[in-house]
Amino acid sequence: MRHVRLVVLIVSLCASGAAAAAAAEPGSGVGSEAACAALPSPQAARTPQERQALVICRDIELVRRVATFIHQGSAQLEKGTPSDREISEVVRKELLGVRDDLRTTRGLLENIKLRDGDGLLLTPSHWVRDLNGDGRVATWERNFFAIPKRHDGPLKVGLASDDPGYYRDEYLADASFKVDQSDLTWALGYHYFAEALVEMVLSYSLEGENYSADAIVLVDTAAAKRAHALLVAGFKSTERLRRTLLAEKDDAAEWIANPRQRNSVFPLHLDEGDFAVWGEVLKQVIPLMEGKTLLVPAAKQGGMLGSLAGLCPAGQGLNVVRLFQQPPRRLLSWGGAEQQGRMCQRVDAGHPKSPLFELLASYERRATNDSMAGMRMLRQLLWVN
């Protein structure tokens, strides 16, 4: 179980780093290990091209760092029996470094403003690294950054594989695109969300020597507050991405495209309906994250949404801002009058019930009744932040 906890915690960061990195790989050498070594420091980078290249190199290095940590940590776990406390301390130290790396790279992205011709030409499959530090480049590592093919059938893209035929059938070996401002916004959104995830994990730590339901306790409220600010920034960045994409008029070597653009290698085609749903969801999510509306799930919804229904008394809803400002001391202990008093707020004209759950439930029913719609929803969750 300790092995599983370690892998689940870090793989989520690896996936986020890979998704963000896919937004910025130039096709003419920059991104190779030698070219990355020749780049200036983040503080010394001045041009948009230098900053784009640094984002590429730093994100590749972050993926390699996390993959190596998983590989080496797994090997050490197989050799010995470290305690839960020892594992917790090692993981926390690694996450602190990951957080600092993400923070620096996010700052680079926030300060890149492209003019015509500033964007780099990208071919993500040209990134080849020994990601897990075992001294060889396996098939999955050689193809880790390649772009999946676009198709509307069942989603076949899965975990990293050592089968070359899998990548030949499911990926575009030489797909290229040219970075524009919307692509940078797409990458920035992933950085916000990945950094928020790390901050939220770091806000809690193990109390005592062994994991149990009550052993994961709050140790850094400021980290939880930073996680909330990053999530709000991420959702607002995603809304900027949606608006920027819809405003684009060119159609040449695109990454993520609007419904009028055809020359795109993005693994998912987004039509007018997708953009409309995207906008409607963000219209509900952003006020909720800012504490302007309250989360009031219904018990009849079932699953995780239904399990949240009992958190607040009747007539009240969960204020997400309060949840991050005053998180529960014990991560897995939710409930009780004291916790309700901190998290819950009466629904009124100033703080109405969010319609987000009703919106999500309608699309959940659609996905249940239409497998193709379900596949499209899954792809959007994977590829559109």
Residue 84 has pLDDT above 80, yes or no: yes
Residue 174 has pLDDT above 90, yes or no: no
**Distance from C-alpha of 234 to C-alpha of 16, rounded to nearest angstrom:** 13
254-295: per-residue pLDDT in tens?
A: 999 999 999 999 988 889 988 988 999 999 999 999 999 999
**Distance from C-alpha of 41 to C-alpha of 329, rounded to nearest angstrom:** 39
Label residue 305 by pLDDT band (50, 70, 90): low
**Distance from C-alpha of 129 to C-alpha of 142, rounded to nearest angstrom:** 7
Asked if 309 and 190 count as a contact pair (C-beta separation under 8 A), the reply is: no
Q: How far is CA 93 from CA 6, 31, 276, 289, in A?
A: 13, 27, 42, 29
- Other CB atoms within 10 Å distance of the CB of residue 286: 16
Residue appearing with tokens 């693994």: 267
Q: How far is CA 72 from CA 17, 163, 233, 234, 381, in A?
A: 19, 23, 34, 32, 30
Asked if 121 and 60 count as a contact pair (C-beta separation under 8 A), the reply is: no
The DSSP output letter for 151 is -
How many residues are there in the chain?
385
**Distance from C-alpha of 13 to C-alpha of 199, rounded to nearest angstrom:** 12
Label residue 303 by pLDDT band (50, 70, 90): low
Q: Provide, rounded to the nearest whole percent, the portion of the chain with pLDDT above 70.
A: 79
Q: Provide, rounded to the nearest whole percent, the portion of the chain with pLDDT above 90.
A: 54
Higher pLDDT, 16 or 148: 148
Bridge partner residues of 178 (DSSP): 121
Given CA atoms 282, 286, 292, 294 in this order, what sign does their dihedral have? positive
Label residue 23 by pLDDT band (50, 70, 90): very low
Residue appearing with tokens 């969960």: 318
Higher pLDDT, 150 or 69: 69
Q: Which amino acid is at 265?
A: V
- SS3 at position 147: strand
98-127: per-residue pLDDT in tens?
A: 999 999 999 999 999 998 889 999 888 888
**Closest by Cα among 274, 158, 244, 191 to 22:** 191
Label residue 24 by pLDDT band (50, 70, 90): very low
pLDDT of residue 13: 42
pLDDT of residue 205: 95
